[in-house]
Amino acid sequence: DAPLVPSPQVVLLMHLAALCTLALHPALRPALPCARAASVTMALEGVPPELAKQVVEAEARAATGRTPRVAGTAVLGLLAAASAAVAAGSLAGNEQAAALAEDVLPFGSAPLSLLLDAGVGGACLWAYAQEMQTRDENLDRIWTELQQRRAAAGGANRAERRAKKVARERVFTGGGGFAASSPPPPPPTPAS
């Protein structure tokens, strides 16, 4: 009996399965889109809902250009996946994929293209994971800074601090002279 040797198509599928397994590795799991919402929730765990919105908005203002970077990464990753699918089809013996591969694949070589696509796809996953890690670190940093500012101000927000300042000024100007005229109108209440 001759030993069972897998066909090139089976070997290719085994390699693609290994790449998918690596992509689902726990270290890369935060890079997956389904983990993004859970990641924001975990990053803001323990933050009151009214302040969580402020923290997220402040982080969005601080991270200029994230949306185009993530979109570009996604587009590049999808192009690499499409190219890999054509290369895999070509290697599997699909005539239509082989005809398309001659026109589309870089270097005209399906194995080389598949290798290149795996590298580009991995780089896209890594770049996306870095963006999400930076976002989570920024959320933590902004929340910590907000807590420090609130503690330094005695827990009061800007409108409350302004109202206290105006009240102190009224106390100091309560004597005679020019300040004996009617007190200034109270500050407008902040819109919630």
Collapsed DSSP state (helix, strand, coil) of residue 35: helix
pLDDT at 49: 77
CA gap 166, 45 in Å, rounded: 36
pLDDT at 83: 87
CA gap 125, 73 in Å, rounded: 8
Half-sphere exposure of 122 (CA within 13 A, CB side): 14
pLDDT band at 120 (very low <50, low <70, confident <90, very high): very high
Residue type, 177: G
Other Cβ atoms less than 10 A from the Cβ of 61: the count is 9
Look up residue 167 and give its two tokens: 């009240």
pLDDT band at 24 (very low <50, low <70, confident <90, very high): low
pLDDT at 178: 57
| Cα separations in angstroms, 181 against 34, 167, 174, 186 | 64, 16, 9, 15
Q: Name the residue among 10, 9, 19 with its Cα closest to residue 120.
A: 19
Report pTM.
0.56
CA gap 168, 174 in Å, rounded: 10
| Widest pairwise Cα distance in the chain | 115
pLDDT digits (tens, 9 = 90+) for 99-116: 888 878 877 788 888 899
CA gap 53, 49 in Å, rounded: 7
pLDDT digits (tens, 9 = 90+) for 157-191: 666 667 777 777 766 555 555 555 666 777 888 77
